[in-house]
Structure 1
């Protein structure tokens, strides 16, 4: 059969994904959330004697906890979606060997209008995944309230954390392949950022940090750019590795590579909306607090956009390198001897 355009070199009649399992991603995401909550606890506990500093500590810890809670909610929803697929599509889901077909892509019987059935399946899965994400968020919020007490600032942190996990769970109603690649990608981005942070001072010295404020600011900017570039590269490579044998078209690779950056953007939106009152109070203590909160917020947005853009482009380019022109496929097909039956 003659094909037009570019075709995947490894496309197969039955498209399957081999990637980290849902349980592995859930455990890693929960460990990330526990790590962020522990870091927040250490920062807040040191400043309990000074209410103003304690509130500032909560405000500075909020973005990290919210991002980790969002990702944990997505991972929990993904795990629930995979279990749901295992029950509803036992013949094709391949859960046991780590190869999962997205239930939303399973061929259905011809119908006059497929949209009502598709909408019902998506709504049912969103209800399941969102509910599981909410369970994770409620548990995390309970831990926060028990650890810090029920002050207004802590209540805001707890509620926003639960909300982030709920939204993350609902996002897991997206196609399984994209969700899995996005969670794996954001975890790898977090790991690369943590490793770079360990070497932050040597890197800033390499970028020209000296005793002046100007040189330190410039070095910090170069360090942020390096973190974003490395994170985008990690996101793109991870997405490609997760989807390379799925037989999908390039837009799916673009979306999967951009998914970690999109999750960071969603986390920042939740932080600014859910924690608006807390951030406003913390910014009012001093001009330095206001500058720090504003500066860090802008850095997070720039980081998320860079990771999303670069990750999507890299995943798409890596996929493109595996494609062969259609005329090569036609030549290979013509070279094969005709089959006899």
Structure 2
């Protein structure tokens, strides 16, 4: 083409070719090997030891209660009363021990199978210990069977994709159960505070308020512990994946946790209590029926205890979930704002 004056190309200067813009590969933002590493739960070994010790303590206290000389014919009632605590402890122990065993396994199928197998071993060990140390009767067989089933179910939970959520759930449930045991010393003073008197109605009303107070405080404990565990796990994962302490650098997806993780972890203690109730109604209904058949008072007591356990689980679920979400929300910073000057095109 001609560049002479008057031609159409004379007014158009030669435009240099734009250099191609290199788009960084998103995979390069993740450190080498981070994609292959499973999002493991920190402190799983310590959690497994504490959970196993808690299960052993619950089994020992139950045995001491039902074999004491003062128990007599009330051993069935005491067994039915202690069964929920044993099952919850077995759920947590199965999940915690399986989590410690499968913490470094990356393949989902292998991880799930190993978790179920570990839960089975924990359940068999607990059942054998119960049969060897408890009296040989139908009540003992019921406790052993439901404990083994709970440990297997807990082990299966540890095979979930996000191990950190399972670790937070187990830690929060264990903390809530320990709090409930410690809170038992304050029940009598609180009953007097809530107006428990000589009448049966006043005692029932006071017991209801004491139970709600216990569930509310246990939910707060579970939610805060779940949030604290997930926040600690997130910091550990961020340091392992190469994020600077000042927050600079891109945080890989493995170390990120969204709000549903905190919701499930906070509600986990209540969910496990509801799962405990399902296991009791399915595997331990024979023991509950025996306890309710002792007398009319025992029947009323078993019905009231079942209703109270469900109410406490629901309170614990919602309070724990709400507490964890609020704590997580307070860690979120403001959304980045774009200056208006940057949006306006530059004037010639």
TM tier, shorter chain?
A: 0.7 to 0.9
The structural deviation recorded for 1:277 is 1.3
Structure 2 residue 216 is the aligned partner of structure 1 residue 229: yes
Residues 120 and 152 of structure 2 are in contact (CA less than 8 Å); yes or no, is this contact kept in structure 1?
yes
- Structure 1 residues 27 and 173: CA distance shift in structure 2, 3 A: same
Residues 20/218 of structure 1: CA separation in 2 closer, same or farther (3 Å cut): farther
1:145 aligns with 2:131: yes
How far apart in 2 are the matches of 1:23 and 1:240? 19
Question: Number of matched residues?
Answer: 284
Q: Where do 1:169-248 residues align within 5 Å?
A: 169-174=155-160, 175-244=162-231, 245=234, 246-248=255-257
Aligned position for 1:68: 89
For the pair 1:307 / 2:326, whether they are aligned, the reply is: no
Q: Deviations over 1:282-306 (max 9, x none)?
A: 2111111111111111111111111
Higher RCO (C-alpha under 8 Å, 6+ residues apart): 1
Q: Distance in 2 between matches of 1:28 and 1:166?
A: 18
- Distance, in Å, in 1 between the alignment partners of 2:69 and 2:279 is 25
CA offset digits 1:85-122 (Å, max 9, x no partner): 3xxxxxxxxxxxxxxxxx4xxxxxxxxxxxxxxxxx43
Gaps of 5+ in 2: 1-28, 235-254, 343-348
Asked if the contact 1:182–1:239 (Cα under 8 Å) also holds between the matched residues in 2, the reply is yes
SS of the counterpart of 1:325? coil
The 3 A distance-change label for structure 1 pair 235 and 207 is same
- Structure with more helix by fraction: 1
The Cα of 1:18 is off from its aligned counterpart by 9.9
CA-CA distance at 1:251 after TM superposition? 1.2
Contact (CA 8 Å) 2:98, 2:115: kept in 1 or not?
yes
Native 8 Å contact 2:223 2:266 kept in 1: yes
Q: Report the counterpart of residue 284 of structure 1 in structure 2.
A: 293
Secondary structure of residue in 2 paired with 1:324: coil
Report the secondary structure of 2:197's partner residue: coil
How do 1:1-341 residues align onto structure 2 when only pairs under 5 Å count?
A: 21-46=43-68, 50=72, 52-82=73-103, 84-85=104-105, 103=106, 121-174=107-160, 175-244=162-231, 245=234, 246-328=255-337
The 3-state SS of whatever aligns with 2:333 is strand
Aligned with 1:323: secondary structure? coil
How far off its partner does 1:325 sit?
3.0
Q: TM-score, normalised by structure 1?
A: 0.78
Contact kept in structure 1, 2:227 and 2:328, CA below 8 Å = yes
* Structure 1 unpaired stretches of 5+: 1-11, 86-102, 104-120, 335-341
Tell me, yes or no, if the aligned pair for 1:178 and 1:252 is still in contact at 8 Å: yes
**Cα drift, residue 123 of structure 1:** 3.1
Q: CA deviation at 1:30?
A: 1.4
Q: Is the 8 A contact 1:47 1:54 kept in 2?
A: no
Residue 48 of structure 1, CA deviation: 8.8
Give deviations 1:297-338, integer Å, cap 9, x for gaps: 11111111111111111111211112123234x57xx9xxxx
Task: Determine the C-alpha separation between the residues in 1 that align with 2:30 and 2:200.
Answer: 60
Name the structure 2 match of 1:91: none
Contact 1:47 1:53 survives alignment (8 Å): no
Contact 1:140–1:162 (CA<8 Å) still a contact in 2? yes
Report if aligned partners of 2:40, 2:163 keep a CA contact under 8 Å in 1.
no
